[in-house]
A and B are shown apart, each in its own frame.
Chain A
Amino acid sequence: MIDGQAIDTEQIERLQSIARAVRRRDLEVVHGAKLGHVGGEMSAIDILVTLYFAVLRIDPKRPDDPERDRFILSKGHSAVALYTTLAHRGFMLVEELDTFAKPLSKLNGHPDRNKVPGVETNTGPLGHGLPVAVGAALAAKLQQHSWRVYALAGDGELQEGSNWEAAMAGAHFKLDNLTVIVDRNRLQQGDGTEQTMHLEPLADKWRAFGWSVTEVDGHNIAQLLATFARLPFKAGKPSCIIAHTHKGQGVSFMQDKVAWHHKVPNAEEVTTALKELGEVVA
């Protein structure tokens, strides 16, 4: 039992297997395109897979269903992780991932909702996802709809002031249908978050802004499942999940290394990484 939830071992193993497949594919796509942000993608993939395969009420055949849950990738530079997850979930063909960053591909370096089914808003500049998520959650409340809204924000991204405008608004409008997940990998492009611009005490900041906060291991799918199952943490309050993660998770030479923010792995590194990640059992 975790937080009163029965553990479904089979489901967890299935999600772990999908996450492994997404990580492998992500690395191959980034290597092929010579472009991407693998570090932050590896840190986010367990969260993305858990959401897309066990939490979000979505239908890949009806990506515009008005009643769908909304997922917003605020850290838009982790686009390949999102594309790969969407492809595995059936929003596009997995083969399409090979077009990533090629001329005229719909798979840009940052997601475009007008080209990629399942993308809710065009992110890339940081601090944009949470305000849009607040709006989508507020739209549900204003129209008495039951959809839920999830935003995944990078931790370094929280240095953008617009997030805190949105944090105020989420609490003010009592958006308990809104959840922000912070990918707390503690690194940003140039250095550690705390060396660059202190974020701690991060949970206290969200609490002070009126959010109900939980901290989890962002790579522990059982914990993630149990946490999402408890949403909203408190009626009338938006929920914040601080997911403690590792940049480059799953690949020893990438893990917790600033350099792997947007470094592209060479062929040898990809081979080593795939060996470490392990084969995907069908």
Chain B
Amino acid sequence: MTQLFDCRDAFNDKLRELAALDPRIVAVVNDSVGSSKLNQFAELYPNRIVNVGIAEQNMVGISAGLANGGLIPFVCAAAPFLTGRALEQIKADVAYSNTNVKLCGMSSGMAYGELGPTHHSIEDLAWLRAIANLTVIVPADPVETAQAVAVAATTVGPMFLRISRMPVPIVHDPDYQFVIGKAARLRDGDDVTLIATGVLVTQALQAADLLAAEGIAARVLNMSTIRPLDVTAVQAAAEETGRIVTIEEHTVFGGLGSAVAEVVVTNHPVPMRILGVPGIFAPTGSEEWLLRHFGLTAQGICAAALELVKGVPMAKV
């Protein structure tokens, strides 16, 4: 049985490690110590955790002020409220003001399952990738999560990290090096490219196995930076595989699929399938149930890829 990990643990382990080395690192929360799994950080550094109460606009504004005062705030809050409620503060106080704030959207996607669409964060990538000067990172596993936290702490500038709570296996080698704006090619293949982000990367890898059984060689890219997008990798996927399936735990309006499509249509148009939440408020269900419901599984990805391959001749486009 493959071991599964909650990326919030890797996030926190790395944050504590970095905080020990860099006294400028502080955590900012909206009564979200528990949900961000910051309990150990709070015990170790009681004077370096700023709890603003349930006030997201203030949380982001205060963080911009803390950065103005030389600190490196990691804002840790449930993704739907951090992004939706404080969007204008993210735009004006963080991105446009170019402050060194690290926005960490916890329990992203449909992690809150049955709590319903108010608590789902499936619009965040669309909102945030529309904002200039904001790096948007979606780690796929604990290895990448830890590295993304380290890169965030040591790279000056506004950043959003989308952290999931859904248990996932490790998809990266221990020597993997996360680089902002660089997709990781996890599987080679020339028949179709599966471009996934976040916790669904693992489903894309399983889909590639299913496709291999059908004689189809699928390339798998982990697109962990949504902005700036790895245009080179997308262009190569279009040119070399002729078909692209994107997979994200996000609405199909404006997220990873849209970002990839923008590159594909302007550089090398090829048929695509964009898998995600189809522009509706999700019905009641657990995250796992909802992902299955929307076909965001290895089987669903495989079916979409097969459809593309059948619709488009296997010879190079």
Contacts and interface: CB of A to CB of B under 8 A. Distances in A.
A145 to B, nearest CB: 7
Given A134-B65, A142-B26, A114 B70 contact: no
A132 B57 contact: no
Contact of A138 (B62, B89, B98): B62
A114 B89 CA distance: 17
B258 to A, nearest CB: 26
Determine which residue in A70, A132, A149 has the highest number of CB atoms from chain B within 10 A of its CB, and name it. A132
B97 to A, nearest CB: 4
A7 interface: no
A16 to B, nearest CB: 31
Interface in B110-158: none
B50 A138 contact: yes
B236 interface: no
A169 interface: yes
A130 B71 CA distance: 18
B91 to A, nearest CB: 8
A125 B61 CA distance: 12
A221 interface: no
B55 A135 contact: no
Contacts of A143: 69-71
Contact of A131 (B26, B57, B67, B97): B57
B62 A162 contact: no
A169 B59 CA distance: 10
A135 B97 contact: no
Chain A contact-residue range equals 35 or more
B53 interface: yes
Interface string A121-138: 111110110111111111
A169 B63 CA distance: 12
A149 B96 CA distance: 21
A138 B93 contact: no
Interface in A86-136: 112-114, 120-125, 127-128, 130-136
A142 B69 CA distance: 10
Contacts of B89: 128, 131, 162
Given A131-B57, A139-B71, A162-B58, A114 B92 contact: no
B69 A114 contact: no
B48 A142 contact: yes
Interface in B56-90: 57-58, 60-71, 73, 88-89
A45 interface: no
B65 A125 contact: no
A158 B82 CA distance: 22
A133 to B, nearest CB: 6
Given A113-B97, A132-B68, A136-B66, 7 more contacts: A132-B93, A135-B68, A136-B65, A136-B69, A165-B52, A166-B61, A172-B53
Interface of B: 26, 47-48, 50, 52-53, 55, 57-58, 60-71, 73, 88-89, 92-93, 96-99
Interface of A: 66, 70, 112-114, 120-125, 127-128, 130-140, 142-143, 145, 147, 149, 161-162, 165-166, 168-169, 172
22 contacts: A66-B70, A70-B68, A112-B96, A120-B68, A130-B61, A131-B58, A132-B64, A132-B65, A133-B65, A136-B65, A136-B69, A137-B65, A138-B50, A138-B65, A139-B68, A143-B69, A143-B71, A145-B69, A165-B58, A166-B58, A169-B58, A169-B62
